[in-house]
Amino acid sequence: MVDMKEEDSYQSLNERLEFVLNRMQAPDIQVGEAVELYEEGLTLIALLEKHLKRAENKIEKLKSASV
Amino acid sequence: MSELVFTVSEFVAVLNQTLEYAYPNVTVTGELANFRVSKGKWVYFDLKDEEATVRFFGTAYQLPGPLEDGMLLAVSGMPRLHSLYGFSVTVTGIRPTGAGSIKKAAQLLEAKLRVEGLFDPDRKRQLPYPPTHIGLVTSAESAAYRDFIKVLGARWGGLRISLVDVQVQGEAAPAQIVAAIEQLNAAGDPPDVLVVTRGGGSAEDLQAFSTEQVTRAVAASRIPTLLAIGHEVDISLAELAADQRASTPSNAAELLVPDRRAVLDRLDGLRRQLERDVRGVLDVARAGLKLSANSLHEYTARAARTARQNLELKTRLLAAYDPNAALQRGYALVRMDGGLIRSGKQLKEGDELHVSLSDARVTASVKKVTMDGGYERGR
């Protein structure tokens, strides 16, 4: 089980979730792994939801290097 | 009024001073004539109208793209009287003017850049979806900027947006846009997507985005580009060179990030799917376990049955060996001194024998031993 945290980017969380979902479908999956992946999947979904519920985008105005 | 007398050189110098003071920079509009490029570097042409012609001199670098005689241009520059070649305007900027010429210039430039491969479909890169860091090149005062930011915020959060505020029309626009694209590309932590946008306007307003320099800068961007210039119907050359094009600034925001509500719904679905999946794995495992348990029962029962049959067999076998049964049938056991007698050779006359029958013990003595084969003869 990979330890994902809230600070991880949306993309990396999403990629890991894709992996978990794919692995869950594998024909050779064992009960122990499935249960672990299930718990990890739920955690990932919760973290992703947290990401999504953040309302703000941060705008920084760069000092223009141009003329 | 005293008459001014100059040498020729003095006259040229004074006239240039006067021109510089009076007209440090002028813009002249007219029809392009006698356009030629020398050594790929120097540009000579005239601008004319019905009554007059003026000569211009500049560098190829200042060209907005390929030009053709007959196009209407607005040319900025400094009027100069050259000591040998006479009067000309030293060019500082050229832009096509009037819808027809703008279109013509764009067509010529498009053809040139298309041949170079700047618009090739196989150059197009995938934009990160969703990105985390957006480089935004637009005018911070524009409705395009407000629309883009508003739609983006409604759909997605947690994005970092690096804005470079530029003029999106006018003479300074192309250089500023190019500088902004280069600045974002050179940033220490560059954005993972570059958005260049402005709202609708006249062909002239949108012209900066069809200049050669801006188009090339977009094509050269190492960061994938998304351009939304003007309305759906306006397609600038820079948009053709971009990795992706959006019809409006709002549409750019829509293409860039998913709608969080849709994603939240999807996540809900995924949660249910995960539950189904894990339940599926557990069900399969449970079924397997049940199968194993059944087999275990069966093996045990079979083993017990075999053991029982074995025991019966042995019991029967044992019964067959029971000497009592033989005595019942009329056989007798003959012993002497505690040992069983199996041969006449063990005996001599007068020996005392102990004979066991099924219901009695008899003591007898040997009268005679005849070694003649015994049982068969005695019958």
Q: Residue B130: its chain A contacts at CB < 8 A?
A: 10-11
Q: Is residue A6 scored above 80 in pLDDT?
A: no
What is the per-residue pLDDT for B379? 53
Cα separation, B163 vs B195, whole angstroms: 10
Helical H segments across chain B, by residue range: 8-22, 99-116, 143-155, 173-186, 212-220, 237-241, 249-256, 260-321, 323-328, 375-378
Omega before B130 within 30 of 0, i.e. cis: yes
Which residues sit opposite B44 in a β-bridge? Answer: B36, B57
Residue in A48, A64, A65 closest to B267 by CB: A48
Subunit contact B275:A38, Cβ cutoff 8 A: yes
Subunit contact B157:A54, Cβ cutoff 8 A: yes
Compute the residue count for chain B: 379
Pairing between β-strand B133-138 and β-strand B160-165 as defined by DSSP bridges: parallel
**Residues of B engaging A, defined by a Cβ cutoff of 8 Å:** 128, 130, 132, 140, 149, 152-153, 156-166, 172, 175-176, 178-180, 182-184, 187, 260, 263-264, 267, 270-271, 273-275, 277-278, 281-282, 285
Average pLDDT over residues A4-13: 78
Q: Order of strands, edge to edge, in the sheet holding B352-356?
A: B339-340, B333-336, B352-356, B361-365
What is the per-residue pLDDT for B318? 86
Subunit contact B274:A45, Cβ cutoff 8 A: yes
The continuous run of DSSP H or E covering B54 comes out as: strand B53-59
Q: Give the pLDDT confidence of B268-305 residue by residue, as tens digits.
A: 999 999 999 999 889 988 998 898 889 889 999 999 99
Cα separation, B236 vs B234, whole angstroms: 6
Subunit contact A45:B271, Cβ cutoff 8 A: yes
pTM above 0.95, yes or no: no
Size of interface A-B (CB pairs under 8 A): 115
Residue in B175, B176, B270 closest to A45 by CB: B270
Average pLDDT over residues A33-46: 93
Residue in B161, B277, B281 closest to A59 by CB: B161
Answer yes or no: are the C-beta atoms of A19 and A46 closer than 8 Å.
no
Search chain A and give the residue with CA nearest B176: A66
Cα separation, A63 vs B89, whole angstroms: 35
Residue whose token pair is 């190829």: B60
Sorting pLDDT into bands at 50, 70 and 90, what band is B329? confident
Classify B148 as helix, strand or coil: helix
Q: Is residue A67 scored above 50 in pLDDT?
A: no
Cα separation, B256 vs B244, whole angstroms: 10
Residue whose token pair is 């760069």: A62
Search chain B and give the residue with CA nearest A41: B274
Residue in A37, A54, A61 closest to B163 by CB: A61
Side-chain half-sphere exposure of B27, counting CA atoms within 13 A:
11
AA letter at B236: S
DSSP 8-state class, residue B259: -
Q: Residue A62: its chain B contacts at CB < 8 A?
A: 162-164, 183-184, 187
Pairing between β-strand B72-82 and β-strand B86-96 as defined by DSSP bridges: antiparallel
What is the per-residue pLDDT for B371? 86
Side-chain half-sphere exposure of B173, counting CA atoms within 13 A:
24
Look up the ipTM and state it: 0.83
